[in-house]
Amino acid sequence: MMRLLVLACGLVALSAPPLLAQERRVPTQPELVLSYAPVVQRVSPAVVNVYAARVVQQRNPLFDDPIFRRFFGGPGGGPSQLQRSLGSGVIVDSSGLIVTNNHVIEGADEVKVSLADKREFEASVVLKDQRTDLAVLRIKDGNTHFPFLDFANSDALQVGDVVLAIGNPFGVGQTVTHGIVSALARTQVGITDYQFFIQTDAAINPGNSGGALVDLAGKLVGINTAIFSRSGGSQGVGFAIPANMVRVVVASAKSGGGAVKRPWLGAKLQVITPDIAESMGLKRPAGALVANVLPGGPAAQGGLKAGDIIVSVDGQDVDDPNAFDYRFATKPLGGKAQLGIERGGKPQSVSVALITAPDTPREEITIRSRSPFFGAKVANLSPALADELRLNSDEGVVILDVDQGSYASNLGFQRGDVILEVNGEKIAKTGDLARASDRQSRTWRIQLLRGGQKISAVFGG
Indicate the annotated binding residues for substrate. Answer: 103, 133, 207-209
Rounded CA separation 283/262 (Å): 33
Contact 199, 165 (CB under 8 A): no
Q: Is 178 considered catalytic here?
A: no
- One of 44, 85, 88, 133 is an active-site residue; which one? 133
The residues that bridge with 90 in the sheet, in sequence order, are 47, 99
Residues in the chain: 461
Identify the CA nearest to 337 among candidates 349, 351, 325.
Answer: 351
The residues that bridge with 343 in the sheet, in sequence order, are 346
CA distances from 132 to 104, 112, 460 (A): 13, 22, 40
CA distances from 24 to 9, 31, 449 (A): 20, 15, 77
- One of 154, 209, 252, 437 is an active-site residue; which one? 209
b/e per residue 357-369 (b: at least 16 CB within 10 A): beeeebeebbbee
The alpha-helical segments, DSSP class H, found in 372-425 are 383-389, 407-410
Rounded CA separation 326/131 (Å): 11
Q: Is 411 helix (H, G, I), strand (E, B) or coil?
A: coil
Binding residues: 103, 133, 207-209
- One of 103, 215, 252, 325 is an active-site residue; which one? 103
> 284 CB contacts (<8 Å, ≥6 apart)?
277
- How many CB atoms are closer than 10 A to CB 388? 19
Torsion over CA of 332, 336, 342 and 343, rounded to 10 degrees?
A: 140
Q: Please tell me the number of Cα atoms within 13 Å of 49 on its side-chain side.
A: 21
Q: Is 133 considered catalytic here?
A: yes
Q: Is 103 considered catalytic here?
A: yes
Q: Which residues are catalytic?
A: 103, 133, 209
